[in-house]
Every structure is written in structure tokens, then in C-alpha cells.
Amino acid sequence: MTPLEFLQRLAALVPRPRLHLIRFHGVLAPNAALRSQIVPGDPDQVPAPSTEPNASPPATRARMSWAQLLKRVFEIDMAACPHCGSPLTLIAAIEEPAVIVKSLAHLGLPTRALPRSPARARNLLQTA
């Protein structure tokens, strides 16, 4: 295989920009009749306001919080203390890199990400 043939084959595998890469079939297909019964609604969609004068405001669903996502995916409960079970509250968000490094160093934790291992060299243009 020549380098040009390799590049032609490789370019054929790259999808076009903004192309949907996940396609749903069956009951998860976009126009399936039962889709609305099993797929949660779009949180960005706001229901139409009621015309009744004393109607309560519609309940809007918010996106899942990070704590809910961590619990759902990794089973890490960020809502309760692992020692006493009391509810946890956010007391600070440290965003300054120098303060983060200082805090990690004080706790004896690594202050830098682990170094990446170099990529393995492979001869992709090898002819058979």
C-alpha cells in the first residue's frame, strides 16, 4: 500500500463535521411511537404555560447536578458524609492554580498530573 492509498483509506473513515455518530433504532428511534414513554424529556423544553388564572407554575426539571451524576455513574455519594452521614455542603471552590498546588502539597498529594507515556511507534505504511 502506498502512502497515498493509506491516506485515502484513512480519510474515508473520518466522518463529516456535525454528522450524528450515534443512531438509535427500534423503540429508541427518533419517531418511534413508544419513545416518549421510555426516554426522559428534554430538560431544555419548557411546557406551554397554562391559560387558567390560578394555575400553579409548571414544574421545570433541572439538569442533574454533579453530585447526582457522580452517584449515578461511580456510586460516589457526594450528598452525605461517609463518616457520620450528615449532609455535605459546598463551603469553597478553589480555582486559583497556585492555591491548589499549595493545598495539595500541604496534604502530601501530587501537585502535577502523571507524565504521559510516549506513543508507541508503529509502521502503518508497511507493505505486506
- Cβ pair 124, 6 in contact under 8 A: yes
Q: Which of 84, 91, 92, 109 is the binder for Zn ion (CB under 5 A)?
A: 84
Nearer to Zn ion among residue 32 and residue 67 (C-beta):
67
Stretches 51-59, 64-72, 73-81, 87-95: which one binds Zn ion (CB under 5 A)? 73-81
Q: If you compute the radius of gyration of the chain from its CA atoms, what whole number of angstroms results?
A: 26
Nearer to Zn ion among residue 40 and residue 82 (C-beta):
82
- Cβ pair 107, 98 in contact under 8 A: no
Q: Which of 83, 116, 120, 122 is the binder for Zn ion (CB under 5 A)?
A: 83
Nearer to Zn ion among residue 80 and residue 100 (C-beta):
80
Q: What are the angstrom distances between the C-alpha of 41 and each of 26, 34, 36, 45?
A: 18, 13, 7, 8
Taking the complex as a whole, how short is the minimal distance between the CB of residue 94 and Zn ion, in angstroms?
Answer: 21
Residue spans of beta strands (DSSP E) within the chain: none
Q: Which of 81, 101, 105, 125 is the binder for Zn ion (CB under 5 A)?
A: 81
Stretches 29-37, 52-60, 64-72, 82-90: which one binds Zn ion (CB under 5 A)? 82-90
d(CA 42, CA 46): 9
d(CA 44, CA 33): 22
Residues near Zn ion, by CB under 5 A: 81, 83-84
